[in-house]
Amino acid sequence: MSHHASSVNPTPAGPASLGVAGLSPLSLFFAIGFIAMTAYFMYWGLDYTNHSQVMLFILATLFGVFMAFNIGGNDVANSFGTSVGAGTLTIKQALLVAAVFEVSGAVIAGGEVTSTIRSGIVDLSGMAVTPMDFVYIMMSALVAAALWLLFATKKGYPVSTTHSIIGAIVGSSIILGVMLDGSESALALVQWGKIGEIAVSWVLSPLLGGLVSYLLFSLIKRHVLVYNDEMDQQLKSLRQEKKTYKKQHKEAFERLSELQQIAYTHAMARDADVMSDHNFHPEDLESDYYRGLHAIKQKRGEIDAHRALENWVPLIAALGAMIISSMLLFKGLKNMNLGLTTLHNYLIMGMIGAAVWMATLIFAKTLKGESLDKSTFLIFSWMQVFTASGFAFSHGANDIANAIGPFAAILDVLRTGEMGSQAAVPHLAMITFGVALIVGLWFIGKEVIQTVGTNLTEMHPASGFTAELAAAAVVMLASLLGLPVSSTHILIGAVLGIGLVNRQNNWDLMKPIALAWVITLPAAAILSAIAFVVLRSVF
């Protein structure tokens, strides 16, 4: 497969082309927009929180936005790494798609209620926690998780933002418990079963992602890519045969006497005329030359070069569309209470699948004249942009909660002065955090994009599409079964699954990444504990 990838892959964008060297106009635009948006939110938020604890509010906003910025640099980069690595999208295009879908996902479907992060991992009800202590717990969690993400992102390691924020909340809660009741009861606050589930997910997520993408890509490789390669070889050898045939004929023609040449030329002229009529019969041909050419043309007609693109690819695309739409219906849009029953959802998935099947089939037929390599690249590029967009929407809807959840809880306490069990998220906060995601992707996402898209294994649109689709399918399945998984770990597993099929994985790079996964919880917890002590002593 490597010849495919190399013939179409543009070189990965280097730092200069990312506009990092000497702020490019685009970087400047992002920076100014980001600062302006954050400033406007602060101005609005002071009113929203009735000007209580102004310094704390400003600091909390900075921590929250910083966390969202780093989610963009790590998680969003992770979602688009395969598209950039496969040469389907440039960094700027990926940014545009991410901007639209991530922010839409966050604003349209990003959890209205963010109670899970607060009650699921640490049980604070057993302790006399003051509302302000609760605010410090959430603030230190945000800044600690963000710092850990920033470190991992700079190293190019894709880590789980969910695990980062969970570890951070655990760290600051334990340290508060120690301060209030001593270490015994502090450890009892933590739901260790949930932490155990997270530990299980370190193994489960990449394994499931890898398994599904390995199976799916083996299928695509066997029925589409290998078939296309074989057809390509046959077409090449036919072109060679035709070339040789013409050369031999020319030599034979030159050996004829002048009279014979004249007679033969007349016969060939008549044959050329006969062949221009599509309904001619091969027996009408007089010259050996045209009879030979006709035989070669017949052989070419018998090679069904585009068969895989017309039979298999539309089916794969339809399956992909149904998985991505199921992810949106069951996961991305579930907070919107659209009143759709499960049957409705299945019918919508069926319609989308059928529409995509038809569209892909027609698209494949229009590519009949193109070279196979180019056609395969084009079709899978389209499919890949579709899967990446769906993945981004679902991601925006779910993972922005890692930044907005703790922040909404802080806002709620500052506004009401007490800890409610549920905090509504103002839309302006969602949009501000959405902007921070995109700016984070632009400024610090390139290392992670490089890791996921190029450094772990070589990507082609077909393999990039498979990795994203496999990851989406596993995320969907896991959320239906209630398994604790991380979309980051699943996608990395899926990328490695592709590498296994192609027998070209960079295992040396995987070691520090796996280590970073395991360190995420304790690292975020320790940072958060330190931040908590500092915050509590300062305020």
Give 329-354 as a DSSP string: IIIITGGG-----HHHHHHHHHHHHH
pLDDT for position 120? 59
Bridge partner residues of 262 (DSSP): none
Q: Helices H, strands E: what count in the chain? A: 22, 0
**Residue 373: pLDDT over 70:** yes
Nearest alpha-carbon partner for 439 in 20, 30, 32: 30
pLDDT for position 23? 75
pLDDT for position 13? 42
pLDDT for position 199? 82
**Residue 115: pLDDT over 50:** no
pLDDT for position 421? 61
Q: pLDDT tens digits for 414-454?
A: 888 877 666 677 888 888 988 898 899 889 988 898 888 88
Mean pLDDT of 257-271: 90
Q: Are 122 and 191 in contact (CB under 8 A)?
A: yes
**Residue 305: pLDDT over 50:** yes
Task: Specify the residue for token string 């850990």.
Answer: 148
**Looking at the chain, how many residues does it have?**
539
Structure-block tokens of residue 29: 């635009």
**Residue 31: pLDDT over 80:** yes
**Residue 303: pLDDT over 60:** yes
Q: Is 190 helix (H, G, I), strand (E, B) or coil?
A: strand
First to last CA, the chain: 60
Mean pLDDT of 1-12: 41
Q: How far is Cα 357 from Cα 316, in angstroms, rounded to an integer?
A: 8
Q: Is 51 helix (H, G, I), strand (E, B) or coil?
A: coil
pLDDT for position 221? 92
Q: Is 113 helix (H, G, I), strand (E, B) or coil?
A: strand
Q: Where are the domains of the chain?
A: 26-225+368-538, 235-302
Q: CA angle, corner 320, sides to 317 and 325, nearest 5?
A: 125
Nearest alpha-carbon partner for 349 in 368, 332, 328: 328
Mean pLDDT of 466-479: 86
Average pLDDT, the chain: 85
**Residue 103: pLDDT over 50:** yes
Q: pLDDT tens digits for 212-243?
A: 999 999 999 999 999 988 998 998 999 999 99
Handedness of CA 173, 176, 181, 183 (dihedral sign): positive
